[in-house]
Structure formats: C-alpha cells, structure tokens
Amino acid sequence: MIKLTSIWLTLISVFLMVSADTAFSTLDLGHQTLREKGIQISATVYSATGEYAFDQNRWEESNFTTVDWGQARSAILITESKQILWKLQGNDVNELTPDLGIVPGEDGPYQYRVWYEIGHEPDITVNFSPSVVDIAVLNDLAAKFAATRAAYPGVPVTTTIMGGPGYSQDYADSALEAFVDTVQPDMLVYDDYPFYAGSPPEPHDAHHFPRLAQFRQIALANGIPYGTYLQTFIGADDLRIPSESDARFDQFTSLVYGYKMLDSFIYDGWGASAPAPVLFSDSRGTAHPTTLFYQIAQSNQEVRNIGSSLVYLQSYDVRFVTSGAVPSRNVAWLAGASDPYITGIAVTSANPAEVVVGYFHPMLEEDDGPSYSNQIYFMVTNGKHSYNLNAIDAQQAIQIDFNFASSGIQNIQRLNRQTGLVELISTQEQCDDLAYVSTGSNTYRLTLTLPGGTGDLFKFSTGAFFVNGLQCAQSSERIPGDINNDCYVNLQDFAEFAKVWLLCNDPEISNCTIDCSDPANDEYCK
C-alpha cells in the first residue's frame, strides 16, 4: 500500500511540475532570462586588470546588477570568479570567448552570464536614412546571431542600435520592424543620451519620450523585452553632467514605460580620450567617487526593488498628465481609458511638470495567484528635473482620486522602492510621503510626494498577491506549508512534497533511501 501511494504521489508530482513549467516555457528567451536573473541595471566597465583593476567592493557599493564588459573578453572570468552578473559585446561569435585560442561554445560553463551583444550600433539604414533599410547589414547581423545561438544555445543575443539615425532623427517604424523581423533579437535595445548643454540647458532632448514610446511599441508587438542606455558620461556631442534629478528621470521614465534593461554608459573612465566618466572624478579607475555616484547608487537600489516586480509584469499603457503639449507618440491621461478606478490626477505643487503614468498586467496569468486574474498595476512617475535641481528640489505633490464604486476595493498597495517590501495603503495606515483619505462613499484620494524624476509602483488591493520577487523571501510571516515560498499553499507545494515522499536520510536507519553526501541528491537534501 505504501509503495502504491508513493507511485501515485510521484505521478502527481510529475504532472504538477510539468504544468507549472508550461506557462514559463511559453515566454520568449529574453523574458525567461529576466525572470531568472532579475532586472538588469548594468554599467559599461572599462578597466579590468592592472593599475586600475576592477574593484569588487566599489562595484557592490554602486548597486548595479550587471557588468557590461564591452569587448573586454578576458574580463568575463573576473566576474565569474566574483559571482557577479555580466554581459559581453563582440563583432561576431569568435569574439565572445575569453581567449582567441578557445572555440566558441567550448568555454564555460558560466553561471553569471546574462547575454551576448553582437555588432554594437550597426547602421541598419542606408546613409542614416530614417526608413531606407540596409538589407545587407540586416542579413549579416542575422547570420552572426544564428552562429552565436548555435554556439551558445539558450543564451539571449541582442545588439544596441542608435535611438535614431545619427541621433538627430527618428527611425521609421518600418525600419525597426524590418530589423526585428530579420535579425530576431532577444531584446530590443537602443541608446540615446538626453542631457545636452545650453544657455540654460533644456531639461532633456525632445526625442526622449517619443523614442521611449516607439521602441516600447515595436518590442511589445514582437513579444520581446526592451532596454535602453542611460547617460553617465560627458565629452561628446556637447553633453552635460546629469544632476541627481536628471539621473532619476533617466531611470524611472524608462521603468514607467516597462524597460527592464538599463545600461549606464559609462562606469569608469577611458583615460584622456572621450567619453569621460561622471561617477568618478578620476579619468581612470574608481578610487574617488563623485556625489553623483552615491546618488545613483541609491536610485539603483530603488530601481532594483521596483524591478523585483516589474520583471513579472507587462506594460499595457502609458499616459501623460501635463499642462503643456503631450510628446509625440504619447497620449494624455484620461479617466476610464486605462483603468476603471482612477478618476483624476493632478499636480498640486507650484511650477508643475509632467507626470507619467504606466499601466501593467502580470505577464503570466498564474502570477496573479490561484484565485485572481487580470490584475492592474500602475506606476506614477514625477517627470520634473533640471540640470540644477537635486531630487528633493524637484519633488512634486501629486493628487490621485479613486472611485471604487461597487468593486469592494477600499485600499491600494505600494511596493516600497526603498525597502522592496509591499505596503498596504489605507485610511488607517499613512506614510511620511503620502496621505490616503476617504472623500465619500467608495471614493478616496491619494496625495503622493515624489522626488524629482522618481516613480512608485502601486496595485489596487483586490486581495490578489502583489507580484514581487522579494516579498516572500523577506517576510518573517511565512505560511506553514508554503514549501516553494510563493506566498500560497497550493498544488505546487504538494508537488514539492510528493517529490520527496518516503525519502529519508536518518543515519541510524540502515535502509534510508537518500544519501545527502552525494551531490546528485542536492535537490532533495537542500
């Protein structure tokens, strides 16, 4: 009887594990990698060894997640040994090994590799045309991508294209669509640097919001994630040093559009030649961090915390609240257009700037938990920033009105960007930076104060789980029986239980069936 029970439990376990893996396996490789490795907050690192060798302590202090080694192929072994995530660029697959003498695909295995980039900033159109695609370039890239995937199956491959031809123009949608259709990148990535000098400087380049919208639209239509570069350098094209509010604006406006790869260019300096770093006062090395380094280290941690949820979410709308003109390719916020509950959004501070509101659904239906579907998340981002404003100087008070009608909803939830934990926002539980009050029957008002360029992620409190990779791992109130620590006791926990049914490792019993000294049994003994 015991043997029969064990057989049935094993069969049920196999069935449940296959079912749980099925939804994940429907995702593309880029999204699978992001869910496994986390949101990518990378920076391009120049110095690996020698006098200005890579400093692990300084890197950890910066709160970046991933080293972008550029084309420094030998340096990938440094990050592997230090257990730090990394990416590498190459003109083709032969430039992706740590050494020329190694055959592509015969190096590794690598535990901390995130993805490869082939052919940085290719000219995908003819003579910087917005729309005339260079078919030869696209076909060449496609062949190089195929060779890379053949050598490194299961590793995402992408490239970075300029935000527009020569940066001064925008690509036609047809050019970007041809690029994606032909090359098949696992992530759509572009670079664009919005902070220019002037008298006085404009807050940001006029292309910033249209490009965020355009690349988002193309990536979503093709079912792949999307990323962008952030400006942490000067010395080219009359670019200026970003202020704290600028840097946050660059990060959080990307998040509100659903970008999940943010690569800061650059981390450390290249010496006398441009570009020059702004995170360190030295032209080489990381011995002397600037004030901006510590400011970005703080905002990096906040992005990581919000990113713990964003990697499970998919953007479905982005809206603008502004007294001025809405940027091209973007639309104004309108009550009822994106969610059924928010009835008004207004900036109550003096000299208001735009507010950007992004809307998200869980990427997989199972991410809502077993009893809910189609949950709505929204991110509110303060777009105010300037070359001479720190984050506090550019803060804005934003008023958001709700009418929950007969939905039964009374509260909202927020992912605290500083702690990474989920907060219940109710009329009984207020926070230092917000107030939530009842304004009538089923109507409420949230007054939220956000630093310049900064955003917060919210969810309507329906009872469904707030999708967040940090919540259960950090909670001290874990539910008994929640074996896989997903905040629910359900059939997935039973599958974990069934896998080890009747196994034992009691050294005093001679017929125990599992030897925990054998590494092959780690999954049972952990």
pLDDT single digits (tens) 93-104:
999 999 999 999
Q: How far apart are CA 420 and CA 414, in angstroms?
A: 10
Instruction: Give the type of residue at 101.
Output: G
Which of 311, 334, 368 lies at the terminal end of a domain, its last residue?
311
Give the count of domains, the chain: 3
Q: Domain check: are 133 and 147 in the same one?
A: yes
Decide which of 25 and 152 is more confident: 152
Q: Are residues 449 and 502 in the same domain?
A: no
When pLDDT is cut at 50, 70 and 90, the band that residue 166 belongs to is: confident
Please indicate, yes or no, if residue 429 is contained in any of the structural domains: yes
Q: What is the mean pLDDT of residues 477-484?
A: 63
Average pLDDT over residues 256-283: 93
Residues 348 and 457 in one domain: yes
Count of CB atoms situated within 10 Å of the CB of 211: 24
241 within some domain:
yes
The SS3 assignment for 144 reads: helix
Q: What pTM was estimated for this model as a whole?
A: 0.88
Residue 390 lies in a domain: yes
Q: Is 357 part of a structural domain of the chain? A: yes
Cα distance between residue 357 and residue 405, in whole Å? 22
Same domain, 487 and 378: no
State the pLDDT at residue 473.
47
Residues 395 and 520 in one domain: no
Distance of alpha carbon 84 from alpha carbon 69, whole angstroms: 12
**Same structural domain for residues 430 and 504?**
no
Query: Does residue 27 sit within a domain?
Result: no
Q: Which residues pair with 148 in a beta bridge?
A: none
Domain end (from 269, 284, 311): 311
Q: Does 3 score more than 60 pLDDT?
A: no
Using the predicted structure, report yes or no on whether residue 475 has a pLDDT greater than 80: no
Sign of CA dihedral 382, 386, 390, 392: negative
Same domain (yes/no): 482, 390: no
Q: Is the pLDDT of residue 439 over 50?
A: yes
Residue 43 predicted with pLDDT over 80: yes
> Does the pLDDT value for residue 44 go beyond 60?
yes
245 part of a folded domain: yes
Does the pLDDT value for residue 20 go beyond 60?
no
pLDDT attached to residue 365 = 86
Cα 390 to Cα 42, 105, 297, 416, distances in angstroms: 23, 47, 15, 21
Q: Is residue 408 part of a domain?
A: yes
Is pLDDT at 435 greater than 60 in this prediction? yes
Are 295 and 379 part of one and the same domain?
A: no
Taken as a whole, the chain contains a residue count of 526
Kindly state the average pLDDT of the residues 136-164.
Answer: 97
How confident is the model over 243-256, as a mean pLDDT? 98
Report whether pLDDT(356) > 70.
yes
Give yes or no for a contact between 465 and 487, defined as CB atoms under 8 angstroms apart: yes
Higher pLDDT, 474 or 259: 259
Residues 412 and 492 in one domain: no
Q: Which helix (H) or strand (E) holds 8?
A: helix 2-25
Q: Give the pLDDT confidence of 397-431 residue by residue, as tens digits.
A: 999 999 999 999 999 999 999 999 999 999 987 77
User: Quick one: pLDDT at residue 474?
Assistant: 45
Instruction: Please check whether residue 188 lies inside any domain of the structure.
Output: yes
Res. 515: pLDDT tops 70: no
Mind listing the pLDDT tens digit for each residue in 280-334?
999 999 999 999 999 999 999 999 999 999 999 999 999 999 999 999 999 999 9
Assign residue 227 the CATH number of its domain: 3.20.20.80
For residue 302, give the nearest of 262, 267, 265, 362 by alpha carbon.
Answer: 262
The answer to whether residues 74 and 209 belong to one domain is yes
Which SS3 state, helix, strand or coil, does residue 473 take?
helix
Q: Which residue has the higher pLDDT, 512 or 379?
A: 379
Q: How confident is the model at residue 277 (pLDDT cuts 50, 70, 90)?
A: very high
> Which of 289, 311, 333 lies at the terminal end of a domain, its last residue?
311
In whole angstroms, what is the distance from residue 521 CA to residue 130 CA?
57
Please tell me whether residues 224 and 295 are part of one structural domain: yes
Whether residues 260 and 121 share a domain: the answer is yes
The whole domain housing 338 covers 317-471
**In this model, does residue 499 exceed pLDDT 80?**
no
Q: Reply yes or no on whether the pLDDT at 352 is more than 70.
A: yes
In degrees rounded to 5, what are phi and psi of residue 331? -130, 155
